[in-house]
Amino acid sequence: MNEPCPSLAPSPPPVSRRRALADGTAATLAAARLLAPALFTGCSLGLPPRARTVTVGMLHSQTGPLGISATGLRDIELHAFEEINASGGILGHRIETRAPDPRSRTDLFVRKARQLLDEGVACIFGCWTSASRKAVLPLIEEARKLLLYSVQYEGNESSKYVVYGGMVPNQQILPGLDWLLSPAGGEKKKIFLVGSDYVFPRTANYIAKKYLQGKSLTVVGEAYLPLGDRDFTATVQRILDSGADCVLNTVNGTSNLGLFTALAAAKVDPVKLPVFSTSIAEDELRSLVPEQVRGHYALSCYFQSLDTPANRRWIAGFRDEFGFDRVTDDPMEPDWCLVHLWKQAVEKAGSFETEAVRQAFRDGLSYAGPGGTVRLDPKTQHTTKFFRIGRIRGDRQFDIVHASEAPLDPDPYPQIAFPGWSVDWTTEGITRGPEVTIDGDV
């Protein structure tokens, strides 16, 4: 056999640099070809896709006297936007929120609103008192952004850049008075008006007095105490002396504790002299003594005890997120509806731009909220509301004793109080009538 001697066998040629380069290039190209689909079809190197975002402002006091109440609005808005984001956002945009703290101070509402507008938010959900709303209104109108306001208020105002989600007097106080006049309400004859001394109680009572002119329910007295005042002893004595058989209470905030303490001290029986409150909801009841308020009434569009599947689902969802003992109330429910009405308007407009969104209002948007279906009235930019009366229970909840059959249309300028005034944002806007002096004679 002629096997080649190993020592004589040709050794492999040394790898030249040129050859190594050529092989290396070929190997790199092959690797690139292999990896390219993974790198480029995924197109991300594993980076999460960058979602488009839109920022929304939330202007609610988180500290100060209004902090605890207004925090509920911030939380329900966060809950709504979290749900919206989880279901894909709005127009493919993830909604981010900015929530500065105006600390229950009107001057800070203005400063924080300006800060939000400078940051370019799409709109602002916020304000609690009429004073704070009126303070930020000029900024909102100048920036041409929407303010979505969900607290009940006195009416007698309209701005094309505000969507009012809370009740106005013709959806709360006037149907409440009608109920008092009816057999179900005890056909009351004498009513005493007590309120805190600021714009809402003064205007609301002015409208009530106008409405009751010529009716069988007579206003037998009227009293206003400074916001925050807690000494109602003299006021309760005036109520008792007046011979009133019911009280319309527009007292706000912590003053309610003083009012009901004084009523309890005077041994007022809620069956004989019921108090009908406009600004007491489940959240406020937590600060009041159950024995002192049980049997009195509240006028509202929503109560947590509303026994419907939609409401039960809503409460459960909120509690899952924010805690097992959280309560829902008016204005949280209207606020939730406002977020969803705004979402609908944006989707209908295909844009977050204010004018486009306002145009979308013209279609008469509606939303099936936890308290029933509400509709956004394009003429007034207010929402329709169910009217409900709740009797306070010992467990800080309400028994609903009356509910309107259908939602009531909003009227920010009831003709009985503001003759000649009206608003229609689908046409000419505000029609002005003669100036009305709220503190003047009725």
Chain residues that interact with other proteins, rule: CB under 8 A = 14-15, 17, 20-21, 24, 45-48, 62-64, 67-68, 71, 75, 82, 99-101, 286-287, 321-326
Pick between residue 287 and residue 397 the one whose CB is nearest to other proteins. 287
What order of strands is seen across the sheet that includes strand 146-149?
A: 93-98, 52-59, 123-126, 146-149, 162-164, 382-383, 372-377, 366-369
If we measure between CA atoms, which residue out of 169, 171, 121 comes closest to residue 146? Answer: 121
**Shortest distance (Å) from residue 324 CB to other proteins:** 5
Residue pair 115/79 in contact by the 8 Å Cβ criterion: no
The CA distance from 73 to 62, in Å, is: 10
**Shortest distance (Å) from residue 136 CB to other proteins:** 18
Q: Residue 393 gets which letter from DSSP?
A: P
| φ, ψ dihedrals at 188, nearest 5° | -65, 150
- Strand 366-369 and strand 382-383: the pairing is unpaired
**Shortest distance (Å) from residue 305 CB to other proteins:** 18
**Shortest distance (Å) from residue 21 CB to other proteins:** 7
Pick between residue 21 and residue 234 the one whose CB is nearest to other proteins. 21
**Shortest distance (Å) from residue 166 CB to other proteins:** 23
**Shortest distance (Å) from residue 46 CB to other proteins:** 4
The CA distance from 345 to 363, in Å, is: 9
**Shortest distance (Å) from residue 82 CB to other proteins:** 8
Pick between residue 78 and residue 356 the one whose CB is nearest to other proteins. 78
- Is residue 48 classed as helix, strand or coil in its secondary structure? coil
**Tokens (6 digits) for 236:** 């309760």
**Shortest distance (Å) from residue 367 CB to other proteins:** 25
Residue pair 58/17 in contact by the 8 Å Cβ criterion: no
Pick between residue 39 and residue 406 the one whose CB is nearest to other proteins. 39
Pick between residue 75 and residue 222 the one whose CB is nearest to other proteins. 75
| Helices 233-242 and 255-265, packing angle to 10 deg | 60
The CA distance from 233 to 229, in Å, is: 11
Pick between residue 101 and residue 154 the one whose CB is nearest to other proteins. 101
Residue pair 79/335 in contact by the 8 Å Cβ criterion: no
Pick between residue 99 and residue 349 the one whose CB is nearest to other proteins. 99
The CA distance from 137 to 131, in Å, is: 10
Q: List Cβ neighbours of 394 (8 Å cut-off, separation of 6 or more).
A: 290, 291, 294
Beta bridge partners of 373: 368
CA angle 97, 316, 410 (to 5 degrees): 65
Residue pair 149/163 in contact by the 8 Å Cβ criterion: yes
If we measure between CA atoms, which residue out of 151, 149, 150, 248 comes closest to residue 204? Answer: 248
In the numeric block, the tokens 């024995």 are attached to 291
Pick between residue 16 and residue 437 the one whose CB is nearest to other proteins. 16
Q: Residue 311 gets which letter from DSSP?
A: H
**Shortest distance (Å) from residue 290 CB to other proteins:** 10
Pick between residue 71 and residue 426 the one whose CB is nearest to other proteins. 71
Pick between residue 75 and residue 411 the one whose CB is nearest to other proteins. 75
**Shortest distance (Å) from residue 15 CB to other proteins:** 6
